[in-house]
Amino acid sequence: MERTFLMLKPDAIQRGLVGEVIGRFEKKGFKLVGLKLIQVDRALAEEHYKEHKGKGFFEPTVQYIMSSPVVAMVWEGKNVVAIAREMMGATNPANANPGSIRGAYAMDISRNVIHGSDSVESAEREISLYFKPAEILHYAKAGEEWLSE
């Protein structure tokens, strides 16, 4: 089963959106297999955003992600990476579908509520940054058999 990494950013925490956003993924039918509230330090922030090093938004992004706790999550399900990206909406909330998470809750590209892996490979890398293998649970979710073939 495919896995993705999602992170509720500092603005989501400060605005009390954790339950709202998690609820969307639960209602979709995905299985939450890893969850933690953490304070990101500089080393983790720089490693997470390393592909953007040298770009003008790198330092403000690193500072922002360290500014408040975040909720790091691992979700599991069929096509979860692509579907989660669709559920999140465009990175710039001005371009996001109003029904998406960013379309509904975010107002600014630099405060866009949620991060999600953009590929299975990115998900694997990001999950390994935030979770030890033992922190990802394996369990049967009631009703899974009714979600897909």
Residue 102 assigned to a binding site:
yes
Q: Distance (Å, rounded) from C-alpha 24 to C-alpha 6?
A: 13
107-133 exposure pattern, b = at least 16 Cβ within 10 A, e = fewer: eeeebbbbbbbeeeeebeebbeebbee
Ligand-binding annotation for 131, yes or no, is no
Catalytic option among 48, 52, 115, 138: 115
Residue 3, marked binder: no
Active site residue 115: yes
Q: At which residue do the structure tokens 């330092």 appear?
A: 59
Binding residue numbers: 9, 57, 85, 91, 102, 112
**Residues known to be catalytic:** 115
Binding residue numbers for ATP: 9, 57, 85, 91, 102, 112
